[in-house]
């Protein structure tokens, strides 16, 4: 029941964001040319360009009912009027030992390779985007504890669904920081979570001398 609640709550947020973005996209279409290049401080920028995001944060393992650490990177590419993305997400109960920078390789690990299609609403100082699509997940997760108190784990690999919402505040037009909500839904290791991310856009097209 809790698993269904978490999934449907995040899906509700995704659908709500999608409706907002679609409405804003319709407003953009009424404008003369929302993708027209502009000049700011002798630099030429193009709105709604492709971008790279790198994220780190916390996820909740719905199957094991525990909080975990997560990392993520995604490349978002614009093809004509459509935004596509591809990326990698990892969630685990431990990346680093508490209080140190010594890396820990935990058995409990989700790897998610995903592709998606999405929408983006960009302003001078902010960017809001939504992406969703199929994923391939693999890893290892806790299975059971035997009579000798030994933990057993199972390996898995199967298809899934990955979706994310990104809000970014742009320090510069092509560089920013923000927060992401995301979910990876699959049979063995579903997670929902939040991350802080860095935003790198290729909006800069040249300079005026």
Average pLDDT over residues 19-31: 51
- Predicted confidence at residue 189, as pLDDT, reads 94
Q: How confident is the model at residue 147 (pLDDT cuts 50, 70, 90)?
A: confident
Mean pLDDT of the region 185-202:
95
**Is 23 strand, coil or helix?**
helix
Strands 38-40 and 43-45: antiparallel
Structural domain of 139: 2-207
Question: What's the rounded Cα separation, in Å, for the pair 155 and 109?
Answer: 10
Q: Which one has a higher pLDDT value, 41 or 17?
A: 41
CATH number at residue 95: 2.40.160.20
- The b-or-e profile of 84-107 (16+ CB within 10 A means b, else e) is bbebebbbbbebeeeeeeeeeeee
Number of domains in the chain: 1
Give me the pLDDT at residue 38, please: 75
Whole-number average pLDDT of the chain: 83
pLDDT tops 50 at residue 164: yes
């Amino acid at each position: 029941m809790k698993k269904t609640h978490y999934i449907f709550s995040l899906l509700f947020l995704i659908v709500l964001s999608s409706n907002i973005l679609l409405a804003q996209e319709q407003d953009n279409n009424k404008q003369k040319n929302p993708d027209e290049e502009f000049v700011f401080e002798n630099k030429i920028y193009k709105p709604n360009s492709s971008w790279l995001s790198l994220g780190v944060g916390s996820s909740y393992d719905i199957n094991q009912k525990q909080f975990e650490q997560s990392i993520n990177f995604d490349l978002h590419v614009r093809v004509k009027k459509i935004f596509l993305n591809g990326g990698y997400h990892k969630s685990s109960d431990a990346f680093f030992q508490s209080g140190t920078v010594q890396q820990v390789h935990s058995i409990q690990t989700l790897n998610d390779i995903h592709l998606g299609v999405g929408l983006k609403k960009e302003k001078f100082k902010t960017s809001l985007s939504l992406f969703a699509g199929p994923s391939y997940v693999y890893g290892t997760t806790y299975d059971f504890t035997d009579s000798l108190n030994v933990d057993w784990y199972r390996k898995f690999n199967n298809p899934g669904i990955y979706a994310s919402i990104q809000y970014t505040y742009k320090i510069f037009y092509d560089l920013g920081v923000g927060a992401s909500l995301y979910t990876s839904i699959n049979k063995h290791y579903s997670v929902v979570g939040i991350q802080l991310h860095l935003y790198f856009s290729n909006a800069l097209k040249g300079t005026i001398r």
